[in-house]
Amino acid sequence: MTHEEYEERFAEALVVIKRKIRGVRDPGITRDGVRLLRVGGMLCDDEMIFSLAWGKETARDIVAQRRSQS
């Protein structure tokens, strides 16, 4: 999966989550380069965002595909 494809999946996941959950904030980047955002009261990384949108198995698959391209 290319970086662009991964970012497209992330944007799609945010759309799904925003339909389900109120209080989704804009993402920020930590000093370590990890993207985090607040969803309700939770602080979520990319894998958690994918999991909230489509479930744990799909989230793991997307993140694994990204890691294999790094």
Q: Which residues pair with 29 in a beta bridge?
A: 35
Q: pLDDT tens, position by position, for the chain (70 residues)?
A: 899 999 999 999 999 999 999 889 989 999 999 999 999 889 999 999 999 999 999 999 999 998 776 5
Which residues lie closer than 8 Å to 60 by C-beta, 6 or more apart?
Answer: 47
Q: Which residues pair with 36 in a beta bridge?
A: 28
**Domain span at 33:** 3-69
State the total domains in the chain. 1
Q: What is the pLDDT of residue 70?
A: 59
pTM for the structure as a whole: 0.89
